[in-house]
Amino acid sequence: MVKFDARESGGTTTFAPDQMEEARALAKSIQSMQPAPAIPKNPKTGPQRVAVLRSIAAGIPGMQDYLARMDAVTTKREMENLDNDKFELIPSLRGSKEQIGDLDLYWTVADLRDQKEREINKRLKEEAQTAKLEKEQEKTVKKEQEDATLKRHKERPELKKVLDLISADFRTEIVQSITTRFTVMVERYFTDGDFNLLRPGRSGNQWENQTYARVSEELAPLMVPTRKLNPNWQNVMAKLASDSADFYIEQFENKMAWKLGDVLERKGGGDVALFGNVRDHAIRMTFPDKSGFQVRTQQVISTSVNGKVFARYPTTFHDVVLASGERMPVPSAAKMQKEFGITEDKSGE
């Protein structure tokens, strides 16, 4: 039996006769350590009780092995496995009357486990934070690299000239389409011309509600909420249409620059020209190795379920000639990726 009695002055440790040799060896070992650890005489806290437990471990059958395994634990799974083995490793633990401080030995072992678990949780948290930071840094570096590549592609003069021509035509279509849609929205909402007794919130369409709020103001205080159309609402609509067009055109140019700029770099340059007139929205590309293709794009303006206008730019490839001089039958995205490295970018479509 081993008992650490905190109630006696000086904190006396008492061993059974058959454990005296082990106790003497432990005492000698403790005295020989430099610097000697401070063993609390009257342990009150978990860490203090654990310190005492380590100092008397040699006198408790199986405790040293348990401590060694506990110190080696690095994961929660290993901790669970040790929990399952602790009564086998420390036979006296179950129903033990041995005490450290005012608590049974079992609770000091629990303190040791909790202390180790906190260490594991702290390390896992630090590792997770480090991994998150590294991932964010990698994402930032990747974004910077992609931005630099895109900027380089968009500044290629042979590509920029053609895209500028098509973009200008697309932009005119977008402004006209969005302006028409905005006007219809306003006329449908402000049915009497200037005033409307219904709140914008009556519509389940968030984007339309936001648009209405930009071109009108609520008159107050009135018994019935009333909105008045601003005199300059048409100018506001024109600005909204222009800003939307700028956004969608940038999407188009980025999409095409990614697709075609990459090919130009891999092929060591090439000739880029409009195919037909600008209204055809077709580009012919030929490369030094005699390969080439025609890419056609179109602008599809749609409205989401929330009423927001958006644009897509699907592309198709035609008249594809390989470096061998052979023509590609039925060009597809998979075939163009294989032969020219063109990946299908879904952004903006």
For the chain, which residues make up each domain, given as ranges? Answer: 2-122, 156-187+240-340
What is the mean pLDDT of the segment spanning 99-127? Answer: 90
Task: Report whether pLDDT(35) > 60.
Answer: no
pTM: 0.61
- Token pair 């040799």 is found at 21
What is the mean pLDDT of the segment spanning 107-132? Answer: 94
> Mind listing the pLDDT tens digit for each residue in 132-168?
999 999 999 999 999 999 999 999 999 999 999 999 9
Which among 49, 57, 66, 68 has a CA at the least distance from the CA of 22?
A: 57
> Mind listing the pLDDT tens digit for each residue in 102-114?
788 888 899 999 9
Q: How far apart are CA 262 and CA 159, in angstroms?
A: 11
- Token pair 């000091």 is found at 108
List Cα–Cα distances, 201 to 98, 217, 288, in angstroms: 72, 13, 59
